[in-house]
């Protein structure tokens, strides 16, 4: 087993790269590189790309984890069904090992992909909260436009065998449960998984596995700076006539403020901010499955468009 650092990027196929590039730009990503056969989009943080689209029929291919070292790739390459370490022949370079999960999603474990300078932050202002006042002598004057995606935060997949999939990700990549949802018999049937970085605080989840009859993508989620970016992005995408899925609201599990949209091929993408941060000392939460999609405020899950 290795302990991955975070999710690196999601990989898709689409028949029109220009259409996908337009949407992702409006969603708040920036083109890193584009070839005749593939599109690489980045966020404002240093990762070379966080979203890959290859030319082909519309499809969610899988996603990548960042490994801590080349030695970790050597370890994963020894797992049954894993590829050998290969040098990546695509923008950003680096090395990877590929292995399919129980539902045949392609999981890449990557290391050594080059980084890029951070992009200039936009629409960022200090916030005044009660006794914590960080903005003095400065006015909030937001510039209309897309939200700015900071990083890829987590991925949600629908899986056909929860127990097998849960074991696959935990035993190979060192993921641990933040919250587990149980059925009426007390059996765990859904898990919010985070990376294990010991005492270091990390996101509540990098991967959520949801049991369903048909495997597929639930959504991919990009962190934005604050709630201003959530609302700016919402208004911009609404004015562009993109299809909305769910939000704005605040989750219970994970606590994120969220807003979900659909890309041109029906894949759900999320803006989120202000999520919970946990470390090894945080106990696992046990919750009823009925509460998995509950909100603390905002649009209820029963109004979620699929």
Average pLDDT value for residue range 202-219: 96
Mean pLDDT of 15-39: 98
> What is the mean predicted confidence (pLDDT) over 177-195?
94
At 277-301, the pLDDT tens digits run 999 999 999 999 888 889 999 988 8
pTM for the whole structure: 0.95
Domain locations along the chain: 6-116+150-303
DSSP the chain: -----EEEEEEEEES-HHHHHHHHHHHT-EEEEE-SSEEEEE-SSSBS-SEEEEESSSEEEEEEEE-S-HHHHHHHTTSTTPPPPEE--STT--EEEEEE-TT--EEEEEE---B-PPPPP-S----EETTEE---S----PPPS---EEEEEEEEEEES-HHHHHHHHHHHH--EEEEEEE-TTS-EEEEEEE---TTS-EES-SEEEEE-SS-EEEEEEEEESSHHHHHHHHHHHHHTTPPEEEEEEEESSS--EEEEEE-TTS-EEEEEES--EE-TTSPPEEEEGGGTT-EEEES-GGG---
What pLDDT is recorded for position 291? 85
Whether 55 shows a pLDDT value over 90: the answer reads yes
Specify the higher pLDDT residue, 127 or 27.
Answer: 27
pLDDT band at residue 33 using 50, 70 and 90 as cut-offs? very high
- pLDDT tens digits, 146-156: 999 999 999 99
- pLDDT value of position 302: 80
Fold classification of 6-116+150-303 is 2,3-Dihydroxybiphenyl 1,2-Dioxygenase; domain 1 (3.10.180)
Q: What is the pLDDT of residue 1?
A: 87
Segment 15-22 shows an average pLDDT of 98
* pLDDT the model gives residue 181: 95
What is the per-residue pLDDT for 242? Answer: 98
């Amino acid at each position: 087993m290795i302990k991955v650092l975070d999710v690196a990027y999601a990989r898709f196929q689409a028949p029109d790269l220009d259409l996908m590039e337009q949407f992702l730009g409006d969603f708040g990503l920036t083109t890193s590189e584009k070839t005749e056969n593939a599109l690489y989009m980045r966020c404002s943080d240093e990762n070379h790309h966080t979203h890959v689209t290859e030319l082909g029929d519309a499809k969610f291919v899988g996603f990548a984890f960042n490994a801590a070292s080349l030695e970790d790739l050597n370890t994963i390459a020894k797992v049954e069904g894993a590829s050998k370490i290969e040098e990546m022949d695509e923008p950003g370079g680096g090395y990877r090992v590929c292995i399919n999960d129980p539902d045949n999603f392609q999981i890449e474990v990557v290391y050594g992909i080059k980084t890029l300078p951070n992009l200039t932050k936009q629409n960022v202002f200090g916030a005044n909260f009660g006794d914590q006042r960080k903005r003095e002598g400065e006015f909030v004057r937001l510039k209309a436009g897309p939200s700015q995606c900071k990083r890829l935060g987590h991925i949600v997949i629908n899986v056909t065998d929860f127990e097998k999939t849960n074991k696959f990700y935990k035993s190979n990549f060192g993921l641990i449960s933040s919250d587990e949802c149980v059925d009426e018999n007390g059996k765990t049937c859904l898990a919010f998984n985070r990376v294990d970085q010991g005492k270091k605080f990390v996101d509540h989840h990098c991967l959520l596995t949801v049991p369903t009859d048909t495997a597929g993508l639930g959504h991919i989620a990009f962190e934005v700076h604050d709630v201003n970016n959530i609302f700016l992005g919402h208004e911009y995408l609404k004015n562009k006539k993109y299809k909305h899925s769910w939000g704005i609201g605040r989750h219970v599990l994970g606590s994120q403020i969220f807003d979900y949209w659909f890309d041109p091929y029906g894949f759900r993408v999320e803006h989120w901010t202000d999520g919970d941060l946990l470390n090894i000392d945080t106990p696992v939460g046990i919750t009823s499955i009925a509460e998995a999609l509950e909100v603390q405020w905002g649009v209820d899950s029963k109004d979620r468009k699929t």
